[in-house]
Amino acid sequence: MANDIAIEAEGLRKRYADHEALAGVDLSVRAGTVLGLLGPNGAGKTTTVRVLATLLRPDAGRAAVAGFDVVAEPKQVQRRIGLAGQYAAVDELLTGRQNLVLLGTLLHLGRRRARARAAELLERFDLTAAADRSVGTYSGGMRRRLDLATCLIARPSVLFLDEPTTGLDPASRMTLWTIVRELVDEGVTVLLTTQYLEEADYLADHIVVIDTGRVIAEGTADELKRKVGQERLEVSVTHPGGLAPAVAALSKVTIGAPVVDERKRSIAVELVDNAGGIAAAANALREANVEFSDFALRRPTLDEVFLDLTGRAPTD
């Protein structure tokens, strides 16, 4: 494995009875970056994470994490990774501090170093004020932050996050995103599975889309969006009667047929040239005396990419 590759997998396969969860998955993640692993439910995301984290043995293929083979050298891999599953794996009867100190002790940090590391992480994750309360009194966002803190006790170089913000409110989700970006800035490599496509758009340096256990697309968010289509101009008219004249006016300065949404009173068109096309479209609407409430150039979203690739929404 190359020195700058933190996670590498080739031809990973895993079968459960008559269900093939992984059918030859290939991955490569550069050190200090975030890979977003996208796919509908049952696509094989969690199975991939469990294989890479040495929790499952693959039926075929090979994988290495932090330079060590996940099958031949699992202990070496385990010493260098952190894993946060879909649900916070913390003891609700213990306090936040006790959870962290206990784990640090089990990881052979020693009592004093475990306490010091716990205090450091409680401060970093804004949990100091609640450190000596039982975790059963924590909000969902606080439990998630504590769960992520437990993954960092041993200072892992590779972090697996399996749908880490599922069920969180937007504010808590943004807090987790900020923490993840800070970790990456410090050199941690992150493999993130998610069904929140804006999460992948915000966090991931590279995205892999899997479905039915196979990689069906990969690239940066921008590269994937370009596969769906170019930027388009979206115009919302002020009055329903303005739709027809707006379509007629825009048809003269755009390529392809305008896409009309009568319910939203909106029109989407593809421009010949973004810079000159925007000015031409605005002039055409002005000359046709069309009043509009919104006029904006928009790019395809990852939701559209996902739907185009898999034929279904991410939560289906």
Q: Which amino acid is at 69?
A: D
pLDDT at 21 over 70: yes
Instruction: DSSP letter for 107, please.
Output: T
Coil, strand or helix: which one is 78? helix
pLDDT of residue 313: 58
Q: Mean pLDDT throughout 286-315?
A: 78
pLDDT at 271 over 80: no
pLDDT of residue 60: 96
Long-range contacts, 133-137 (Cβ 8 Å, 24+): 133/95, 133/96, 134/92, 134/93, 134/94, 134/95, 135/90, 135/91, 135/92, 135/93, 135/94, 135/95, 135/96, 135/99, 136/92, 136/93
Q: Mean pLDDT throughout 30-36?
A: 96
Residue 103 tokens read as: 């784990």
Could you read off the pLDDT of 286-298 as tens digits, one per residue? 889 999 888 887 7
* Claim: this prediction has a pTM higher than 0.85: no
**pLDDT level of residue 93 (50, 70, 90 thresholds):** very high
Name all domains of the chain by residue range, CATH numbers in brackets.
5-226 (3.40.50.300), 230-299 (3.30.70.100)
Q: Mean pLDDT across the chain, nearest whole number?
A: 89
pLDDT at 279 over 70: yes
pLDDT of residue 138: 95
**pLDDT level of residue 205 (50, 70, 90 thresholds):** very high
**pLDDT level of residue 85 (50, 70, 90 thresholds):** confident
pLDDT of residue 3: 66
